[in-house]
Amino acid sequence: MSLIQWIHFPPLGDERGSLVALEAEITFPFDIKRVYYIFDTKSGVVRGLHAHKDLSQVMVCLKGSCRVMLDNGLLKEQVVLDSPNKGLLIDSMMWREMHDFSEDCVLLVLANEHYDESDYIRDYNDFLKQVHS
Protein backbone atom coordinates (compact mmCIF):
# COMPACT_ATOMS: atom_id res chain seq x y z
CA MET A 1 0.00 0.00 0.00
CA SER A 2 1.35 3.41 -0.96
CA LEU A 3 1.65 6.16 1.64
CA ILE A 4 0.96 8.72 -1.07
CA GLN A 5 -2.70 9.70 -1.19
CA TRP A 6 -3.47 12.36 -3.78
CA ILE A 7 -6.71 14.28 -3.88
CA HIS A 8 -7.44 15.63 -7.34
CA PHE A 9 -9.42 18.85 -7.28
CA PRO A 10 -12.04 19.36 -10.00
CA PRO A 11 -10.84 22.04 -12.44
CA LEU A 12 -13.32 24.94 -12.66
CA GLY A 13 -11.22 27.12 -14.91
CA ASP A 14 -12.20 28.48 -18.28
CA GLU A 15 -10.59 30.55 -21.01
CA ARG A 16 -9.84 33.27 -18.43
CA GLY A 17 -7.68 30.98 -16.31
CA SER A 18 -7.85 28.41 -13.51
CA LEU A 19 -9.96 28.11 -10.39
CA VAL A 20 -10.11 25.41 -7.73
CA ALA A 21 -12.77 25.26 -4.97
CA LEU A 22 -12.22 23.20 -1.83
CA GLU A 23 -15.51 22.34 -0.15
CA ALA A 24 -15.54 20.26 3.02
CA GLU A 25 -16.88 16.76 2.43
CA ILE A 26 -17.59 17.51 -1.27
CA THR A 27 -14.24 18.05 -2.95
CA PHE A 28 -12.40 17.60 0.31
CA PRO A 29 -12.15 14.64 2.72
CA PHE A 30 -12.85 16.43 6.02
CA ASP A 31 -14.24 19.54 7.71
CA ILE A 32 -11.54 22.19 7.60
CA LYS A 33 -10.84 23.82 10.98
CA ARG A 34 -7.50 25.46 10.22
CA VAL A 35 -5.64 26.78 7.22
CA TYR A 36 -2.02 27.91 7.18
CA TYR A 37 0.58 28.51 4.52
CA ILE A 38 4.33 28.27 4.37
CA PHE A 39 6.30 30.59 2.10
CA ASP A 40 9.71 32.31 1.81
CA THR A 41 11.39 29.13 3.07
CA LYS A 42 15.12 29.62 2.93
CA SER A 43 17.36 27.53 0.72
CA GLY A 44 18.44 24.19 2.24
CA VAL A 45 15.87 24.33 5.07
CA VAL A 46 14.07 21.12 6.08
CA ARG A 47 10.62 21.61 7.69
CA GLY A 48 8.26 19.18 9.38
CA LEU A 49 10.39 16.52 11.08
CA HIS A 50 7.46 15.38 13.21
CA ALA A 51 4.29 13.29 13.23
CA HIS A 52 0.84 14.05 14.61
CA LYS A 53 -1.01 11.76 17.00
CA ASP A 54 -4.45 12.69 15.73
CA LEU A 55 -4.57 15.10 12.82
CA SER A 56 -5.42 14.89 9.14
CA GLN A 57 -4.00 17.47 6.80
CA VAL A 58 -3.93 18.16 3.08
CA MET A 59 -0.94 19.97 1.56
CA VAL A 60 -1.34 21.88 -1.69
CA CYS A 61 1.59 23.52 -3.40
CA LEU A 62 0.05 26.72 -4.80
CA LYS A 63 3.29 27.93 -6.39
CA GLY A 64 6.77 26.51 -6.94
CA SER A 65 7.64 23.09 -5.57
CA CYS A 66 8.93 21.10 -2.64
CA ARG A 67 9.65 17.46 -1.89
CA VAL A 68 7.73 15.69 0.86
CA MET A 69 8.99 12.54 2.56
CA LEU A 70 6.43 10.40 4.43
CA ASP A 71 7.32 7.62 6.84
CA ASN A 72 4.83 5.42 8.72
CA GLY A 73 7.55 3.68 10.72
CA LEU A 74 7.69 0.78 8.27
CA LEU A 75 7.82 2.39 4.85
CA LYS A 76 9.23 5.66 3.55
CA GLU A 77 8.03 7.33 0.35
CA GLN A 78 8.66 10.68 -1.21
CA VAL A 79 6.86 12.82 -3.68
CA VAL A 80 7.26 16.22 -5.33
CA LEU A 81 4.45 18.74 -4.81
CA ASP A 82 4.32 21.14 -7.72
CA SER A 83 0.68 21.57 -8.69
CA PRO A 84 -2.24 23.59 -7.28
CA ASN A 85 -4.64 21.06 -8.86
CA LYS A 86 -4.01 18.28 -6.35
CA GLY A 87 -3.44 17.85 -2.64
CA LEU A 88 -1.44 15.35 -0.63
CA LEU A 89 -3.48 13.83 2.21
CA ILE A 90 -1.42 13.09 5.33
CA ASP A 91 -3.12 11.18 8.11
CA SER A 92 -2.18 10.74 11.77
CA MET A 93 0.96 8.89 12.86
CA MET A 94 2.91 9.72 9.74
CA TRP A 95 6.37 11.22 10.06
CA ARG A 96 6.72 14.03 7.49
CA GLU A 97 9.62 16.07 6.21
CA MET A 98 9.56 18.83 3.61
CA HIS A 99 12.75 19.37 1.62
CA ASP A 100 13.98 21.20 -1.50
CA PHE A 101 11.67 24.22 -1.30
CA SER A 102 11.92 26.31 -4.43
CA GLU A 103 12.45 30.02 -3.74
CA ASP A 104 8.88 30.81 -4.85
CA CYS A 105 7.21 27.88 -3.05
CA VAL A 106 3.86 28.62 -1.39
CA LEU A 107 2.58 25.58 0.47
CA LEU A 108 -1.04 25.69 1.66
CA VAL A 109 -2.03 23.27 4.43
CA LEU A 110 -5.61 22.51 5.49
CA ALA A 111 -6.18 20.70 8.77
CA ASN A 112 -9.14 19.06 10.48
CA GLU A 113 -8.19 20.38 13.95
CA HIS A 114 -7.01 23.56 15.59
CA TYR A 115 -3.34 23.96 16.45
CA ASP A 116 -2.30 21.85 19.46
CA GLU A 117 1.39 21.46 20.30
CA SER A 118 0.60 18.41 22.48
CA ASP A 119 -0.50 16.55 19.32
CA TYR A 120 3.05 16.72 17.88
CA ILE A 121 5.61 13.92 18.14
CA ARG A 122 8.86 15.73 17.43
CA ASP A 123 11.30 12.98 18.38
CA TYR A 124 11.78 10.26 15.74
CA ASN A 125 12.60 7.54 18.29
CA ASP A 126 9.41 8.36 20.24
CA PHE A 127 7.49 8.14 16.97
CA LEU A 128 8.92 4.69 16.24
CA LYS A 129 8.14 3.52 19.79
CA GLN A 130 4.53 4.70 19.50
CA VAL A 131 4.05 3.14 16.05
CA HIS A 132 5.39 -0.22 17.19
CA SER A 133 3.76 -0.30 20.66
Chain positions contacting ligand T46, by CB under 6 A? 34, 36, 38, 47-48, 57, 96, 109, 115
52 is catalytic: no
Compute the least distance from the CB of residue 112 to ligand T46, in Å: 11
Compute the least distance from the CB of residue 75 to ligand T46, in Å: 18
Closest CA to 57 of 75, 83, 33, 84: 33
Compute the least distance from the CB of residue 53 to ligand T46, in Å: 11
SS3 letters for 35-101?
Answer: EEEEECCCCCCCEEEEEECCCCEEEEEEECCEEEEEECCCCEEEEEECCCCEEEEECCCCEEEEECC
- Please pick, among 50, 99, 114, 132, the residue that the annotation labels catalytic: 50
Q: Which CB, 18 or 100, lies closer to ligand T46?
A: 100
The Cα–Cα gap between 102 and 106 comes to: 9
Cα 87 to its chain centre, rounded Å, is 7
Which residues are part of the catalytic machinery? 50
